[in-house]
Amino acid sequence: MRIVLAVLTRDRPEMLRACLASLAAMRAPDGCETTLVVIDNNSATETLARNRAAVGAQVGAFPARMVVETRQGIPVARNRAIAEAEAVRADALVFLDDDQTVPPDWLSVLVAAHRETGVDVVKSAVDWRFEPPGRFCDHFAGDFDDPGAPLREVGVASVATNGVLIGARVWRGMGVRFDERFPLNGGEDTLFFRKALSGGGVAMLTRETRATEHCPAAKQRAGWLLRRAYRVGINEIVMGLKPRSRADALTRGLLRALYAGVLALIWCWRPRERFRQLMKGAKALGMVVGAIGLDYAEYRTVVGR
């Protein structure tokens, strides 16, 4: 089995170095020819040189190389990873974010799950490590697992690229690619996997191993979280993640924003609930902005080191 393990990075050399250190300690899956490809999405010149030196020609058990994708944008860089995998006729492409680290068994568990079940997509569970002060870390909704959940969950409907194995059938057989129309918006992975699953693909979440995502303090501040909710609302409309007419989105967004604002006032004496309503209101305002044809390039600014 031939695997390309792709790590995307841009101007976060410290995070990338930690990621590579964890990959250097990772075991190679049995019976697999695995190559690590670091895709630098047009970092600054100094960072680019540091990244190239960190990658070298070998990372632990894995031959490695770095390629530079000068066109800015996460979906552009992810499509470059697909092109790199296709160039060597890989059987699977694995994505890991540069702000993640993994245990030694991580890739072996994903490969074993893929082989044993035949599913097209295998997503690993993710634990979060929050930098202090962590004031709003509990607002990363949906990122914490139910302790009683099964180790393997086949048929999941939503997948992200932060630690995932994708079988070649998805990009080679189905022809699925990441949407480059909004290169700095985010959300392209949601659309990618939605296309893959609606085309007959099957995804599985495995909790047998876990990637760890390192969340800087800047992402736990009220402003960042509100901007993220706002961007999610915009993407639902401009990218068609929640298909509805622009008029419907405008009406729903205005009503939801008003309702959330009223509830935020009602819950003014409970800060956590008040902030939850403010996030809902920000998302609703994003729907309104998306409905009138505007968008928000969240990933124009790099967060992290």
47-77 pLDDT tens trace = 889 998 889 888 989 999 999 999 989 999 9
pLDDT at 138: 67
Question: For residue 202, what pLDDT band results from cuts at 50, 70 and 90?
Answer: very high
Rounded to 5°, angle at Cα 140 from 102 and 235? 100
pLDDT at 139: 63
Is the per-residue pLDDT at 209 higher than 90?
Answer: yes
DSSP at 182: S
Residue range 224-246: average pLDDT?
A: 79
Residues 6+ apart with CB under 8 A from 148: none
State the Cα–Cα distance between residues 305 and 179, nearest whole angstrom.
27
pLDDT at 241: 64
The larger pLDDT score, comparing residue 258 to residue 105, is at 105
State the Cα–Cα distance between residues 174 and 165, nearest whole angstrom.
16
241-289 pLDDT tens trace = 666 777 888 888 888 888 888 888 887 778 888 888 888 888 888 888 8
Question: For residue 95, what pLDDT band results from cuts at 50, 70 and 90?
Answer: very high
Is the per-residue pLDDT at 155 higher than 90?
Answer: no
Residue percentage of the chain with pLDDT more than 70 = 93
Task: From residue 160, give the alpha-carbon distance in Å to each of 152, 198, 246.
Answer: 16, 15, 26
Question: For residue 231, what pLDDT band results from cuts at 50, 70 and 90?
Answer: confident
Task: From residue 36, give the alpha-carbon distance in Å to each of 26, 45, 279.
Answer: 12, 22, 38
17-52 pLDDT tens trace = 999 999 999 999 999 999 999 999 988 888 889 998
Residues 6+ apart with CB under 8 A from 279: 139, 225, 226, 229
DSSP at 239: T
Q: Are 93 and 6 in contact, with CB atoms under 8 Å apart?
A: yes
Beta bridge partners of 101: 212
Q: Are 160 and 122 in contact, with CB atoms under 8 Å apart?
A: no
Rounded to 5°, angle at Cα 174 from 73 and 199? 100
pTM: 0.88
Beta bridge partners of 62: 59
Residues 6+ apart with CB under 8 A from 245: none
The larger pLDDT score, comparing residue 110 to residue 236, is at 110
Domain topology for 2-215: Spore Coat Polysaccharide Biosynthesis Protein SpsA; Chain A (3.90.550)
Q: Do the bridges between strand 62-68 and strand 121-130 make them parallel or antiparallel, or are there none, so unpaired? A: unpaired
